[in-house]
Amino acid sequence: MEHLTDKKLTEYAEKHSSPESELLAELNRETNLKVPMPRMLSGHLQGRALALFSRLLQPSRILEIGTYTGYSAICLCEGLKPDGKLITIDINEELEDMVRGYFGRSGYGTRIDYLLGNALEIIPGLQESFDLVFIDADKKSYGAYYDLVIEKVRPGGLIIADNVLRHGTVVAGNTDKETRNMQQFNEKVQADSRVENLLLPIRDGLMIARKR
């Protein structure tokens, strides 16, 4: 199963949601044409959801773990306060030129800190408090990312984690390590009294945790 939502329903939902900007549509196309594993890109519907969360929250500081080609970063920037900043981290240096090009053209270039390296090593050194964190890198480290960021999120701030339904394997009886890891992540958030949370079954599943 590629995505949880039926293809026709997704198309209908996209048709009845605000369109992607021309730049995001171009980035989506270029990623699909030229970059390995394009299904990692958030895409139209999830991108609009991330942009809406960000606009509602009006964050000053956003942390994104897993830049890939920069699609979700640009969506999240839509809600940034005028003097706000987004830090995005990725371990893959091969996409740097493409990503920096799109960040520059998005108009948010000067407000994005694009850090290349292992997020597990970079995050402990970030001396910031965040209003919004988007976890979307290697799935095995979700629990570790959550532990690294939870104390850096201000009360009322959001942690959003992508792919928490793993194409439905979390309920299909799969016993592979990846599925077990994600189940443990979801159980960890569910048991954490520091947050109120919603598992939203959009695309591959977004876990949304609001710090109390």
Ligand X SMILES: C[S@@+](CC[C@H](N)C(=O)[O-])C[C@H]1O[C@@H](n2cnc3c(N)ncnc32)[C@H](O)[C@@H]1O
Question: What spatial distance separates the first Cα and last Cα of the chain, rounded to whole Å?
Answer: 35
Q: Across the beta sheet with 153-162, what order do the strands follow? A: 112-116, 85-90, 61-65, 130-135, 153-162, 206-211, 195-200
Q: Give strand ranges (E) for 91-177.
A: 112-116, 130-135, 153-162
Give least dist CB 30 to ligand X, A.
12
Residues 6+ apart with CB under 8 A from 65: 88, 89, 119, 123, 133, 134, 135, 136, 137, 145, 149
Residue closer to ligand X (CB basis): 53 or 68? 68
Q: Which residues bind ligand X (CB under 6 A)?
A: 40-42, 66, 68, 71-72, 89-92, 118-120, 136-138
Give least dist CB 119 to ligand X, A.
4
Residues 6+ apart with CB under 8 A from 134: 50, 62, 63, 64, 65, 66, 72, 76, 160, 161, 162
Residue closer to ligand X (CB basis): 72 or 179? 72
Residue closer to ligand X (CB basis): 39 or 212? 39
Residue closer to ligand X (CB basis): 124 or 156? 124
Residue closer to ligand X (CB basis): 19 or 156? 19
Residue closer to ligand X (CB basis): 66 or 79? 66
Residue holding tokens 């991330």?
A: 50
Interatomic CA distance for residues 141 and 143, integer angstroms: 6
Helix or strand run (H / E) with residue 85: strand 85-90
